[in-house]
Chain A
């Protein structure tokens, strides 16, 4: 599925995003499987709560980390999250 930049992104109800104390990282859990996330992937996916589109995620993270030019990296990660079924895109009403 192609990334629709105007959509809102929400985390898939069939997956769980969780902090793992023992591993000191966020992981995605799903039936009999687990993906270990690096810091930036986790920061992006945490914002996929159904209230933000791509622009909003980019600007929030650029503000938070006091940097610019994150758009390409973020849309790349969202695309692969979408392909893996971790997130869904909801068209804006």
Chain B
């Protein structure tokens, strides 16, 4: 069995807005790079499934060679190998086509997991496109999966609760965070072991771009106006807070 996790290396997604700078409409290269927030949840779920099912867990990424050092964290968490398609495009079609090429080369995958959206572009489209290209079903906003009768039982988070779905074969899931898939801190021995795990690099293939053009990128100015509420009586504080939120039309 082969499980693939789509993993993107992104600039620090917690850079405070006051310190955030753009260069050519993208985050300044000075920011630390790391695996995206939801992608780490997907890796964690992948590791849990691998441990349960003795599956092979592959980290599939599209990006630059320098990012391998950050992807190794996924190996330390428990994945078996990295497949990196080397490329620099930001276009979801191009990325999805390259990921499809890599999945095809692997002979397909029993399950493909991905963070629900990347932590830099926040678009959440690549996994859906990839599912379309592979002709796999796609379940967005999933939080857990378990093997069932040759397919998968998948829990999906909806706005109001949780929905249980049955996937009869292969599929692509976009993963959202829940306490059960908080990424583990890799054990030190696993960090050492990760250094020896294989990394396969594939050259990018040419693919058509999406028919959308980016016109401009803007960072909103953050403004904080602080109002302290008295905290002697917490019930009273809660009442005052509710009133103030209504007055300011936040509720």
Asked if A and B are interacting partners, one says no
Q: Residues on A close to B: CB < 8 A?
A: none
Q: Residues on B close to A: CB < 8 A?
A: none
